Structure 1
Amino acid sequence: MIISRLSTASQLRVVSSRSLPGARLNQSRSIVGFVRNALGIDPPPNPDEPQVSNRFFPWDQSPSPDLRARAERIKKLALCPVTGKNIEYTCPISGIPTHHSREAWEKDENYHKNKVYEKLKKVNIYEHDLRSGRSFPEFDFPNVQGMDRAVNLQNWDLYFYTRGFYSMDTEFQLATVTKMLSYPLTIASVMHEYSPYSLYPRGPVTLEGLKSISALRYTLYPEQHKSATPKDRPTRIFILGARAESQLPGHVWKQLQYLFPTQSFDIHFIGPECAVNEGKVPSEAISVSGGSSETQPLTKKIDDTLSLVYHPQYFHTLHEAQDFFPYDPYNDIFFTFHPGYASPENEAHWMGDTMKDLLDTKCAIFTTGFNKADMLSDINIVKQKYGKELDMLMEPTKNLFGSTKWELNDLNPQEVYQFNMYIAGFRGKRYHAVKYT
């Protein structure tokens, strides 16, 4: 009976192959596909799929007007590391303008010895991939997590797998998604009960850090504490000096809330560079808390569990006006993403009233850096100026949820970095009560 059914099916395929145009070709393709699968041979690459071969173009000859303009900007603003003159030569390996001339390019020992061009080439192909017009199925993010499935936050791969993300098998897909999710996942990795950061000496978290993180988790997981009382307001996450992170769509920040399904959050973006793209947000979802939208916060309500609040002002101004009082270490946490505390252009701003007011909140403060040197310089200047007034919560360490996408500094085209590569934490010192007799 089984044999006759197979024979009949084969006859139907033969008849259809004779009667339908192109069916014979489809049949041969099916046979080839079967043979490939049986032998474990990978199918030929799709010419539309991102590959180095179809994503590499010299920026000054790029099909993208944006990248051609960026190449011109580099040539106008950056200086050759060998001659100190304007950049006019495009590296043939990376496709990015890097030197004044070919001679200077050949003489740059550091450039060739350290293979700087390899990371620059990745910058090139990542930027072209974003502008390629391909479909981005990796942006189809999962929704609420099933209660029977645990999330693993040990690294990007395990997080994507346990959350049910689209299978990201290429560096291109990882680069685009990790850049967007680096901000909410960096926050979640600190607060979550399955945080990958452990207590010293096995991990970077100090004893004071454990106290602060435990206070937050006390309210984030009330079902684990019989004595916990229901919260009267959402957990507040303050992001100071907000720039690119304030431009992320609401569904990206929703991935943070999905990791805490029973909790609600208000995310406050603070700083003159933060902004909400009102053109892409339904008007009924945005509210202004009095006054004009230029000076008063805009609130974008994603749903009942998540609101994004935009404050186009400096934190010390809002702090002095007591707009956020009272602060609560059990409900509030602060983040500054690569703020550049120690950079010449930012030091005066961050190390003055802003840092004093931040430490005055007594809430946990976590900060990130583009690389290890950037992170250490920021932490060192805070310690030098306010060492006696703060406790370290997390020693500088590699951020497991830093972006995997390489970025380029147009003012120095040999400087490449990744967003949120390192992370550290501190807090204004809390003094124990002293009993006098």
Structure 2
Amino acid sequence: MVESPYRLRHRRLMDTAPAAAISSDSGHSGSNGGMPIMVSILVVVIICTLCYCVYCWRWRKRNAVKRTEIERLRPLSNSDLPVMDLSLIQAATNNFSKDNKLGEGGFGPVYRGVLDGGSEIAVKRLSARSRQGAEEFRNEVELIAKLQHRNLVRLLGCCVENDEKMLVYEYLPNRSLDAFLFGTARTAHLDWRMRQSIILGIARGLLYLHEDSYLKIVHRDLKASNVLLDNKMNPKISDFGMAKIFEDEVIEVNTGHVVGTYGYMAPEYAMEGVFSVKSDVFSFGVLVLEILSGQRNGAMYMQEHQHTLIQDAWKFWNEDRAAEFMDASLEDGAYSKDEAWRCYHAGLLCVQESPELRPTMSSALLMLISDQTTSLPSPQRPPLFARTKKAVSPSGYSFGTETTSKTQSVNDVSITMIQPR
């Protein structure tokens, strides 16, 4: 029987319906399988975009902070101190070559340089790893640029460029006092006249800071490595990164941020964070006793003698054995005993435990230059310090110290307590 066209068309439609249904199901299944891949790719893209945005934000913030620091420093430099180009300093120091490196402190390395005209300079470069930063840099620029005295190191200029912060000083060929003083071959060059001149020069420099300049300044880190010597062995106090300006009516300040070097810090500052001009007087007294004895008042001395240099000095003085305290390189007859004993006596008065008993720098200088010793009071016992860590000798041309929220020094030695004998 021949099928009608209508039936034939109907049967063809019925045959193709299942195939279409199968094709539709197959497409739906493939779509479901691709969804997880698309979602994963989208998540990865979103995460990468977020990370990039965070990186860009932090980069912009970091650069903004650096720009702010530089902008804060530039107005000061332009108004108070000559600004030197980075290219000029790089040329002077042979691009900060190792051969020109003089030493390194908490601030960073110090380099010798020679300018086009032949003038020698010392460049103090802030290290990226330094604990000191823009505040200490600004502090030193603010203070030393305004201070002029023959016994203070002279700041010639600064550089704030391309994330670099540098201070440019006069070059002092004999470097620091500790390079001559403590058991080196150069100690023999320090005769009595030279030592006395260095003591008086340091005293005059401190007196200027405390009383004679229009700013009342406490140095807070006076030590042998921060006393530099020119070609005539004249002393110049350096490193004002930790110095503080006092208002006229302020006598002392209490701070929780103690900085300094073991053996030189006054007990009230080391233990309680209280500093004043009498803190510098204590450090000066330690320096005087070190210059007389040729010994460092540090942990190495304590390890060898079981007590500090200043305790030994007091003991020899009380037992009338002052001559035994003097540096062995100063032979009998090589120095004036009256002058030496006057320095010895003044040094012991400066390192007394109570700040009220210590003289001011004007009184200390008068003691050193006066012929009258009979009217001086008897010194009291100096403080006792407890050693806690081993000492590491600092470099000779440090120009800096480390700063922490705890009592710390460049020799990695801290003061922890005062104990009675």
TM-score class, shorter: under 0.3
| More helix as a share of residues | 2
Q: Name which one, 1 or 2, has greater alpha-carbon Rg.
A: 2
